Amino acid sequence: MNYIETEIPGVWIIEPKVFNDARGYFMEAWKKEEFEQHIGKINFIQDNESCSSRGVLRGLHYQLAPYSQSKLVRVITGRVLDVAVDIRVGSPTFGKYVAVELSAENKRQFFIPQGFAHGFHVLSDEAVFTYKVDNLYMPSHERGLHFDDPSIGVDWRISDTESLTLSEKDTKAPLLSEAEYNFTYK
């Protein structure tokens, strides 16, 4: 696998080696020893999967410590624009984001460490999104940021004619300046 650290240290794009032939393809999606050599020790405890249609925007989500989560995300059908926003107090990249297109075709993965808000926008008719997490889901610690916070300025690749589908929770999420977060840059 090819591990590419983004402009925000700790956030990684992972490109697997894909072996194609007349039967289809084969790839290693995750290899613990190799992952830990490049990124560090992570104890993933759960795999999640969602299916969404074109125009669905999920995020920007995070959980407060001690239930914050690192995520390793990928798309197995369709394509999405995936976004991670740094919300670690004292970080030189606080409020900055990294965006990467993940698709069934490019098979890229995106690693988002604890201390980041995460979201994605579906760019295809349908997308099946899967991810590993290193901590339990805890509704009482779940928080979010408004997806179009101008202080963050995410370019979600939304066309003028596209209507977004958001959850009620996401439409009511606060701006970064009003949000609750408890992550410290180390």
pLDDT at 160: 72
Catalytic site residue from 61, 118, 121, 141: 61
181 is a catalytic site residue? no
Q: What is the pLDDT of residue 37?
A: 95
Looking at per-residue pLDDT, the higher value among 147 and 24 belongs to: 147
Q: Which residues contact 2 (CB under 8 A, 6 or more apart)?
A: 14, 15, 17
Spell out the domain ranges in the chain.
Answer: 2-184
Distance in angstroms (rounded) separating the CA atoms of residues 55 and 122: 5
User: Is 118 an active-site residue?
Assistant: no
CB 114 within 8 A of CB 142: no
Structure tokens of 178? 């009003």
**Where on the phi/psi map is residue 24: left (φ > 0), alpha (ψ -120 to 50), or beta?**
left
Give tens-digit pLDDT for 131-171.
999 999 999 999 999 999 999 999 999 977 678 999 999 99
Q: Which helix (H) or strand (E) holds 37?
A: helix 32-38
Mode of pairing for the β-strands spanning 183-184 and 88-89: parallel
The CATH number given to 2-184 is 2.60.120.10
CA dist., res. 154 & res. 175, Å (int) = 13
Instruction: Tell me the β-bridge partners of 126.
Output: 53
pLDDT > 90: what percent of the chain?
91
pLDDT computed for residue 161 by the predictor: 62
Catalytic residue among 131, 141, 146, 181: 131
pLDDT at 32: 93
Which of the four pLDDT bands, split at 50, 70 and 90, describes residue 186?
Answer: confident
